């Protein structure tokens, strides 16, 4: 069996390539050739061309021997779908969750925010005015299935791990490595933002290859099984570095320095429903999310982005520590000036609550 992976050298690529080889495929990859990764075995044939160029893709697939499977994780998916129509056995592709209405523009929700969790049948972006990027993704998905009704398409959230082009963990990790005593998080850092570790979401592609009958014509959310809050992410990264950092909670509206961490205009949640891929394809994480995040932090610490380089430019974090110090000082001064307001009686957590600070037990002994 012959398989072509379009991409292959990004975060998920080598996991997919090696997974297909383990399944008996003769694997080739098509990518620009700007960089190679050591995890790709030498027997894999490389086709170096621009997977965003429709004319090059059309010429390649018109001349290439028929592939039993094509996995598209990179390039212009609409052009790939058109060029491969009728010329390959099967297409499995990866796209993005911004297709969901409200993912990039949470104000579209009523009330604001995505439904939690967001399933594959949730409304998609309906017009360019709602979200131009999301609208393009929707159009691409529709073109994909028009050309390949039996295709399988996976919607990825933010993918993290080795070789990631935008290391979302870096704003946290750099502050820890720079010896910052504190990090400001919005609204307690309680925002849930679903992520996908590269090895985990690559497993989703491989499961689709393993189950052609179940996955034909299907769309799947594919992400880590556990969704970590922003606060948990900070604590896990700090622990992976053997460091401690104080978390300073501040209202989102007052903390613009936290925008690179939230990556959207509100602190509403982005949580995917992955029950379909679990039930139909048997998806389970290859690496639990907490360990995956710790591994990513350790790798980033060993391979730090250049200060002011492309990664930091994309992240749009100025790392203006002097401004953060002033912001914290102003916030603490404001809190310190707040009058103490008493309530009569003191508000409680409801009588159903039995944790720390809850009501005393009604009986001194348990009778069963």
- The ranges assigned to domains in the chain are 90-334
- Is the confidence at residue 190, as pLDDT, over 90? yes
Query: Within 13 Å of residue 308, how many CA atoms lie on the same side as its CB?
Result: 1
- Burial status of residue 248 (CB atoms within 10 A of its CB: 0-12, 13-18, 19 or more): middle
213 vs 152: CA distance, rounded Å: 10
For 309-358, what is each residue's pLDDT tens digit? Answer: 999 999 999 999 999 999 999 999 999 999 999 999 999 999 889 888 88
**The predicted structure's pLDDT at residue 195:** 98
Q: How far apart are CA 143 and CA 125, in angstroms?
A: 15
Q: Helices 13-22 and 198-210: crossing angle, nearest 10°? A: 40
Using only C-alpha atoms, the chain has a radius of gyration, in whole angstroms, of 24
pLDDT value, residue 35: 85
What pLDDT is attached to residue 89? 97
d(CA 52, CA 32): 9
Does 53 have pLDDT greater than 80?
yes
Rounded CA-CA distance 325/320 in Å is 9
- Which pTM value belongs to this model? 0.95
CA distance 52 to 79: 7
User: Which CATH fold would you assign to the domain 90-334?
Assistant: Rossmann fold (3.40.50)
DSSP code per residue over 226-251: SPPBHHHHHHHHHHHTT---EEEEE-
pLDDT at 237: 98
What is the C-alpha separation between 44 and 22, in angstroms, rounded? 13
């Amino acid at each position: 069996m012959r398989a072509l992976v379009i991409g292959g050298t990004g975060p998920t690529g080598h996991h997919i390539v090696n997974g297909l080889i383990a399944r008996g495929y003769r694997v080739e990859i098509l990518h620009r050739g700007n960089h190679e990764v050591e995890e790709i075995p030498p027997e894999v044939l490389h086709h170096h061309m621009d997977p965003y160029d429709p004319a090059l893709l059309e010429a390649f697939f018109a001349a290439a021997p028929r592939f039993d499977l094509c996995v598209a994780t990179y390039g212009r998916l609409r052009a790939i779908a058109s060029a491969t129509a009728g010329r390959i056995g099967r297409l499995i592709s990866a796209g993005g969750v911004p297709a969901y209405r409200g993912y990039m523009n949470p104000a579209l929700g009523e009330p604001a925010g995505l439904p939690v969790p967001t399933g594959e049948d949730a409304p998609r972006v309906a017009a360019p005015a709602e979200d131009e990027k999301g609208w393009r993704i929707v159009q691409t998905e529709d073109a994909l299935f028009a050309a390949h009704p039996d295709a399988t398409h996976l919607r990825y959230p933010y993918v993290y791990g080795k070789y990631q082009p935008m290391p979302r963990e870096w704003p946290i990790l750099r502050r820890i490595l720079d010896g910052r005593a504190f990090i400001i998080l919005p609204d307690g850092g309680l925002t849930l933002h679903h992520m996908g570790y590269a090895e985990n979401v690559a497993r989703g592609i491989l499961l689709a290859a393993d189950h052609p009958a179940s996955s034909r014509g299907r769309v799947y959310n594919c992400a880590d099984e556990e969704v970590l809050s922003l606060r948990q992410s900070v604590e896990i990264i700090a622990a992976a570095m053997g460091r401690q950092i104080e978390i300073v909670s501040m209202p989102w509206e007052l903390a613009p320095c936290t925008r690179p961490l939230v990556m959207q205009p509100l602190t509403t949640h982005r949580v995917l429903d992955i029950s379909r891929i679990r039930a139909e394809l048997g998806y389970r994480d290859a690496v639990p999310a907490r360990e995956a995040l710790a591994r990513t932090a350790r790798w980033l610490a060993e391979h730090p982005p250049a200060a002011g380089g492309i990664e930091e430019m994309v992240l749009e974090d100025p790392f203006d520590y002097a401004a953060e110090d002033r912001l914290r000082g102003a916030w603490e001064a404001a809190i310190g000036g707040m009058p103490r307001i008493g309530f009569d009686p003191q508000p409680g957590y409801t009588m159903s609550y039995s944790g720390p600070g809850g009501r005393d037990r009604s009986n001194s002994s348990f009778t069963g």
